[in-house]
Structure 1
Amino acid sequence: MKTNNVLVNNLCSWPLGFRRLAGQGDISIPGKARNFPLLSEEEVLAQIQTGNVMFTGTDGMGNHARIQIVDEAKRKELFGLDDAEVSAPILLNEESVKELLAIRSKAKFNEQLEAMVKTDAEKRMLVELAFNVGAEDAESWKVDVLRKLAETAKV
């Protein structure tokens, strides 16, 4: 049975909620939810069109968003992107933090960190994600930099 629902991931460890635009009531996505199935395509499109930053991120195209649309082709369709060369959005998740921790040079590490972390939500998730992917085995200066950045998050 095919539905028109869009699978999404909550990239935060806390629940995210917002008012439903294509129906009645509110939506609550549990913290760290993966493949959350209860959003219709119409709902996700309405949230994007009204500029809900949880979907649109800092640039309106999904960079630094808190909610990730799992299917890349569906994400492009909902954001009105064609198949032209469009890079995937910058998202803070376990995969991107693992790649960050693998960087050897301090300059490259700091450059990548600055590109990856822009919002308070990302700052709040940074250390948790780092320890989920093995920060205890990373160089201590990296962990110090991550903690220092995380402390700048406004609650």
Structure 2
Amino acid sequence: MYLISACLAGQPVRYDGKSYVYEQIQQLIQLKQVITACPEVLAGLPIPRKPAEILGGTGEDVLAGRAQVIDLDGVDVTHAFIEGAYKTLTLAQQHHVSTVVLKENSPSCGSRFIYDGTFSNQKVNAMGVTTALLRQYGFNVISEAAFFELLNPSD
């Protein structure tokens, strides 16, 4: 069973109300091999919403209280991002998920990269809040690019 970011499964839950549609993910959904989640929506954030970035660190730092998640207007949305991470963890545990596929670059879901907190489109090598929490609990969390590599290995 996979847990996949809802935005990667065609659900319009991104901060800008958009989504992505990938045929391979749709096929897995039809085979009932996928549950979907959007940590921000699970925490009650609206769609659309202001973009947010981690200020002063990484997802691990947010969980440890050393960094904050701030939206473009300067509003602290840290609590919602932590709440969404824990709700996603609960889903992954309840469904005995083997692999978690989350949207790269997101302050919740980035597994290798997130934006640097300056809203200047610059990325840093770090994890988002949900990825950091899920990995603390032993879940295999990968990006959509890594997932498609697994599904379609090069010959």
TM-score by length of 1: 0.32
Greater relative CO, 1 or 2 (CA 8 Å, sep 6+): 2
Indicate the structure (1 or 2) with the bigger Cα radius of gyration.
Answer: 1
Q: Which has the higher helix share?
A: 1
